[in-house]
């Protein structure tokens, strides 16, 4: 099961950085690209997020490229 769900677009440089970070750290993730699958836009709206990357970790929403927060949340027991 993915530890992180990350919402991305094809043209977002910070989304690319986030995916690179997750892969480098070996953190399991599921990418939900709103460019390729418009149905994910409604999920972003439900989360209260207006931009990407937006990540969901253990029920917490993290907006923006915040590898420090992602690492802290995935490390917490």
Q: Which residue has the higher pLDDT, 49 or 1?
A: 49
* Terminal-residue alpha carbon distance, the chain: 16
Query: Is residue 50 predicted with pLDDT exceeding 90?
Result: no
Cα 67 from chain centroid? 10
pLDDT-above-90 percentage for the chain: 90
Determine if the pTM surpasses 0.85. Answer: yes
With tokens 């970070």, the residue in question is 21
Say if strands 29-33 and 60-63 run parallel, antiparallel, or are unpaired. unpaired
pLDDT-above-70 percentage for the chain: 97
Tokens of 66: 């915040």
Under DSSP, is residue 40 helix (H, G, I), strand (E, B) or coil? helix
Please, are residues 5 and 30 in contact by the beta-carbon 8 Å criterion?
Answer: yes
| Domains and their CATH numbers in the chain | 4-75 (3.40.30.10)
| 56-70 mean pLDDT | 96
């Amino acid at each position: 099961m993915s530890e992180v769900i990350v919402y991305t677009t094809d043209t977002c440089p910070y989304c690319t950085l986030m995916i690179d970070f997750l892969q480098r750290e070996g953190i399991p993730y599921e990418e939900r690209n709103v460019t390729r699958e418009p149905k994910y836009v409604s999920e972003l709206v439900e989360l209260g997020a207006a931009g990407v990357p937006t990540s969901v970790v253990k029920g917490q929403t993290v907006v923006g490229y915040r590898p420090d927060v992602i690492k802290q949340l995935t490390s917490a027991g």
